[in-house]
Amino acid sequence: MTGFDERMLMKGLFPGLLALLLCTQLQAATVRVQTIRIADTGSQTRVVLDLDRTTDHKLFTLSNPHRVVVDLPAGILTAQAALFPDGQGLVSGIRGANRSDGSTRIVLDVGQPVRPRSFVIGPDGEHGHRLVVDLLPLDQPVVVKTMPDALGSDRDLVIAVDPGHGGKDPGARGRSGLLEKDAVLQIGRRLARKIDQEPGMRAALTRKDDSFIHLRERMEHARSQQADLFISIHADAFRDRRIRGATVYVLSDKGATDEAALRLAERENAADLVGGVTLRDKDQMLASVLLDLSQNASLSSSMDAGDQVLDELRRIGKIRKLQVQQAPFIVLKSPDIPSILIETAFISNRYDESNLGSVQYQERLAHAIFVGVRSYFYDHPPPGTKVATLARTYRPREVQYVIRRGDTLSGIANRYQVPVRRIRDANHIPGDKLVIGRVLLIPQPHDI
Ligand SMILES: [Zn+2]
């Protein structure tokens, strides 16, 4: 089953599923709580009970003082679990006890009213059965990034860069063996470096190495970093190996722009099914559906950002579709962050595959995406950001320089008042050797 189908189905099935989890006696046997873990992502606090088997449970809140209670009708806290971790995030403390009737009660002390959710997950890889309790602030405001910054200080723009796939999920594979996960990691890291070098902008990579990350975690990471834009980077594959070129997508709730876009969304979403479907992802998917209220605002921002990136990609290579496409990608389903997904090229096409494997082309792709993103933000600077201040006085522009006989890197750097390192990075020149006639991109510092 694809992620897309699931999302459609979840709307109808979830209440039933929830009732099943909370009310049905799944197991009468005693469950052992082996350990208790806690983590805070900034937007929510998660408490995980590691169990030796699945169980039913009751979850409820009490006030005065505010508490969240988890009851296991037949449970035992092991000595390890009874060590209880220190509180984090919304949880100020955890306690619990085995009770004389054979049940176990675990209490999460919270300093404010919270919205709890719970679900059980079966074993996957490193973890066994788990009961997960997520706590969100009761009145969590949905932050729309176009609102003025309450602090009035100039903050950096945060751009979440999301190299697709990773770890056990290789993504698409080229005929010569190039893996999508490896190519997009390279492009993503180069893009992040360019963003970090730009005044007023900061990158947040969802993965920095070859690790597997669930789609929802990628979005959570962006949200915890308070990202202003989310860019997911992929490389497409198609049965027809002649097809090549880049495509830029934004999320659509209404369905895909075309059939190919829908099939692609199904394939990219299915990445999250590697290693088995987890309830956790479904649960968070539902949360996203509920938070859809501000989606329309970020959809038009996503379209604008996508347009600018597409414009830049058009300069460097083949484009499959001239317009930004819409498709129901799970990874883009953020209620509050404008998001785009870039299929940089078709790894199934041999020209595109060799391009994707080339450091120089990766650099050009990263540069094109970067320039597109920067243009977008200079057109639509969120108030309260450094870029909003800068945008009042100048617009960054590209300068190209054709290398002439006798040029040196330090000479060119000096002429443009740009550090040699930045020219090297922008053009991927490892040493000092220059090729006469080659066009150099000169990164522009803030020249008014
Ligand atoms: Zn992909």
Tell me which of 3.40.640.10, 2.60.40.3500, 1.20.120.1730, 3.40.50.300 is the CATH number of domain 24-137.
2.60.40.3500
Spacing, Cα 233 to ligand 1 middle (Å):
7
**What whole-number distance in Å separates Cα of residue 2 and Cα of residue 286?**
16
Report CA(165)–ligand 1 centroid distance (Å): 6
The alpha carbon of 14 and the centre of ligand 1 are apart by a number of angstroms equal to 28
How much distance in Å is there from the Cα of 360 to the middle of ligand 1?
Answer: 21
How many A from CA of 398 to the centre of ligand 1?
A: 30
Domain boundaries, the chain: 24-137, 157-390, 397-442
Note whether 160 and 222 are within 8 A (CB). yes
Would you give per-residue pLDDT tens digits along the chain (448 residues)?
333 333 333 333 444 444 444 444 444 689 999 988 888 777 778 888 989 988 888 888 888 888 899 999 899 998 888 888 888 888 999 998 888 888 899 999 998 888 887 777 777 666 788 888 888 877 654 443 333 433 445 899 999 999 998 999 898 899 999 999 999 999 999 999 999 988 899 999 999 999 998 877 888 888 889 899 989 999 988 878 888 888 888 765 544 455 556 666 666 665 444 333 332 333 343 333 333 323 445 667 788 888 889 888 887 777 777 778 776 666 666 556 888 889 899 898 999 999 999 998 898 899 889 989 998 898 888 888 888 888 876 667 666 777 888 889 988 888 777 888 888 877 777 778 888 877 787 776 544 2
CA 265–ligand 1 middle distance (angstroms): 9
- Give 235 Cα–ligand 1 centroid separation in angstroms: 6
Closest by CA position to 129, among listed 261, 5, 325, 278: 278
Q: What is the share, in percent, of the chain residues with pLDDT greater than 90? A: 22
- Give the distance (Å) from ligand 1 centre to CA of residue 180: 7
Paired tokens of 438 = 């080659």
236 C-alpha to center of ligand 1: Å? 6
Six token digits for residue 43: 């937007």
Ligand 1: distance of its center to the CA of 231 in Å? 12
166 Cα to the center of ligand 1, angstroms = 10
The residues near 295 (Cβ < 8 Å, ≥ 6 apart) are 251, 253, 335
User: H helices then E strands: how many in the chain?
Assistant: 11, 17
24-137 and 397-442 have identical folds: no
Kind and range of the H or E run holding 120: strand 114-121
- Using the mean position of ligand 1's atoms as its centre, give its distance from the Cα of residue 410 in Å: 40
295, 219 contact by CB (below 8 A):
no
In CATH, what class is 157-390?
A: alpha beta
Spatial separation of the C-alpha atoms in residues 308 and 324, rounded to whole Å? 10
Q: How many other C-beta atoms lie within 10 A of the C-beta of residue 21?
A: 19
* Tens digits of residue pLDDT in 154-211: 899 999 999 998 999 898 899 999 999 999 999 999 999 999 988 899 999 999 999 9
> Could you tell me the distance, in angstroms and rounded to a whole number, from the CA of residue 182 to the centre of ligand 1?
11
The pLDDT, as a whole number, for residue 25 is 42
Omega into 396 within 30° of 0, i.e. cis? no
Both structure tokens of 237: 């594959």
3-state secondary structure of 68: strand
Measure the CA–CA gap between 372 and 377, rounded to whole angstroms.
9
What does pTM read for this prediction? Answer: 0.54
In this predicted model, what pLDDT tens digit does every residue of 326-351 receive, in sequence order?
766 666 665 568 888 898 998 989 99
How many angstroms separate the alpha carbon of residue 18 from the centre of ligand 1? 31
Kindly give the distance from the C-alpha atom of residue 341 to the centroid of ligand 1, in angstroms, as a whole number: 9
- 397-442: CATH topology is Membrane-bound Lytic Murein Transglycosylase D; Chain A (3.10.350)
C-alpha of residue 356 to centroid of ligand 1, in Å: 13
Distance 186 CA to ligand 1 centre (A): 14
Rounded to an integer, what is the distance from CA 412 to the centroid of its chain?
Answer: 38
How much distance in Å is there from the Cα of 266 to the middle of ligand 1? 10
